[in-house]
């Protein structure tokens, strides 16, 4: 039986339907493929991408006016993300990755651009997309981008290198964040939609990763790539704003995904502890194991509650940089603790590949690193506290 987190807030009928759809898909399609996808190492499950698209799970969060499901509130998105990532966090994040691409388009794009790049994402066989920020020498300091965009008439010429770009091996379109002038730092960052077929675009080989292998990552090389003016999102220098607003939402969703992983580890551990017998009784009756499960449940619930608080504030139009950071920091570090605790409860079997525990431990670590490390989240939170 799945661990149920009680908030005291009733879900609407529509929310219940989306949660049930995601839960069913995770149980039938995602969890059975988790080990296979992990062992494939550098291949994303494109067949699951198409199946999710056909029932609306890949585009339910996109605006209805462009063909999406119109579920634009972050609360519902978090509930759905949690269920998908309960099945598998890497696959769950892959299946909803269109939202990451769509964020800057919605925030910065004009009406024609939204129709051009959002509408195709809502069909039965949508293209895979990507967002390119990180560079070999630029990780947490997004304002220090070195990829250059030089205006040349009705075009921009892009030169630079991006790394750790999720979905890059498959992406048709990539939103590239580049600077029109490095000296301007954040005020020079500008967003461009780049087609992988544009001359000068090269995608590197998929990178071999510790976990979350359902999302393929690669480097993106840009050599004199000529990008039409109408591929620029917003004005010059507006890209950093669009990126930060995207991060405010995506960090909350990372919190939801991490909570789903924690729930999976807790449920598996509870079931095992009820069935595994040592010293004449189920190990759940030994206080050491029971207390560990109690801590796992507490950390899982806390992750959910701070994530949903941030989502509700975001939906109310509030600025949520601190709350988003708290959600991501808390849920990501908690899921690392919870999955490690789950492995310990399973003992030697947890270390084996008979169970998914060792995979979940590997998967969990990425939640602490992506879209701003835990140290960056603490920096955001501490600055917000100091400014009060």
Tell me the catalytic residues.
371
Distance CA 131, CA 115 (A): 18
Beta-carbon contacts of 227 under 8 Å, excluding residues fewer than 6 positions away, are 149, 155, 156, 157, 158, 192, 193, 194, 198
- Phi, psi dihedral angles at 87 (to 5 degrees): -70, -50
Of 295, 289, 300, 297, the closest CA to residue 350 belongs to 289
Q: Report how far apart the first and last C-alpha atoms of the chain are (Å, whole number).
A: 43
Q: Are 36 and 109 in contact (CB under 8 A)?
A: no
Task: Please give the C-alpha separations between residue 338 and each of 200, 255, 259, 260, in angstroms, as whole numbers.
Answer: 45, 14, 10, 11
Q: Which residue has the tokens 């989240």?
A: 377
- Cβ pair 94, 214 in contact under 8 A: yes
- C-alpha to C-alpha distance for 136 and 124, rounded to whole angstroms: 35
CA distance linking residue 357 with residue 220, whole number of Å: 33
């Amino acid at each position: 039986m799945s661990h149920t987190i009680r908030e005291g807030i009733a879900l609407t009928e529509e929310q219940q339907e989306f949660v049930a759809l995601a839960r069913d898909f995770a149980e039938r399609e995602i969890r059975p493929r988790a080990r296979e996808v992990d062992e494939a190492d550098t291949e994303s499950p494109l067949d699951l991408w198409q199946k999710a698209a056909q029932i609306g799970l890949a585009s339910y969060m996109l605006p209805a006016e462009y063909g999406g499901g119109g579920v634009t509130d972050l609360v519902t998105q978090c509930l759905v993300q949690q269920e998908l990532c309960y099945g598998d966090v890497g696959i769950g994040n892959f299946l909803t990755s269109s939202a990451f691409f769509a964020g800057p388009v919605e925030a910065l794009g004009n009406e024609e651009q939204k129709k051009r790049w959002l509408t195709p994402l809502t069909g039965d066989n949508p293209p895979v997309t990507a967002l390119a920020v990180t560079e070999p020498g630029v990780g947490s300091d997004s304002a220090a981008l070195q990829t250059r965009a030089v205006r040349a008439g009705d075009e921009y010429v892009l030169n630079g290198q991006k790394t750790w770009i999720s979905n890059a091996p498959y992406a048709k379109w990539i939103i590239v964040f580049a600077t029109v002038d490095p000296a301007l730092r954040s005020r020079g960052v500008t967003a461009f939609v780049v087609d992988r077929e544009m001359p000068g675009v090269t995608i590197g080989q998929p990178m071999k990763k510790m976990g979350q292998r359902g999302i393929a990552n690669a480097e993106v090389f840009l050599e004199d790539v000529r990008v039409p003016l109408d591929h620029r999102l917003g004005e010059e220098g507006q890209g950093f704003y669009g990126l930060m607003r995207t991060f405010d939402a995506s960090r909350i969703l990372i919190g939801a995904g991490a909570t789903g992983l924690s729930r999976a580890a807790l449920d598996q551990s509870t079931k095992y502890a009820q069935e595994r017998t040592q010293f004449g009784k189920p190990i759940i009756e030994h206080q050491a194991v029971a207390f560990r499960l109690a801590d796992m449940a507490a950390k899982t619930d806390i992750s959910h509650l701070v994530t949903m608080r941030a989502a509700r504030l975001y939906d109310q139009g509030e600025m949520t940089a601190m709350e988003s950071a708290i959600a991501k920091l808390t849920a990501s570090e908690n899921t690392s603790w919870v999955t490690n605790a789950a492995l310990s409860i399973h003992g030697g079997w947890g270390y084996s590949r008979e169970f998914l525990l060792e995979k979940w431990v590997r998967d969990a670590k990425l939640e602490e690193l992506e879209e701003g490390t835990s140290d960056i989240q603490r920096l955001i939170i501490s600055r917000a506290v100091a400014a009060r």
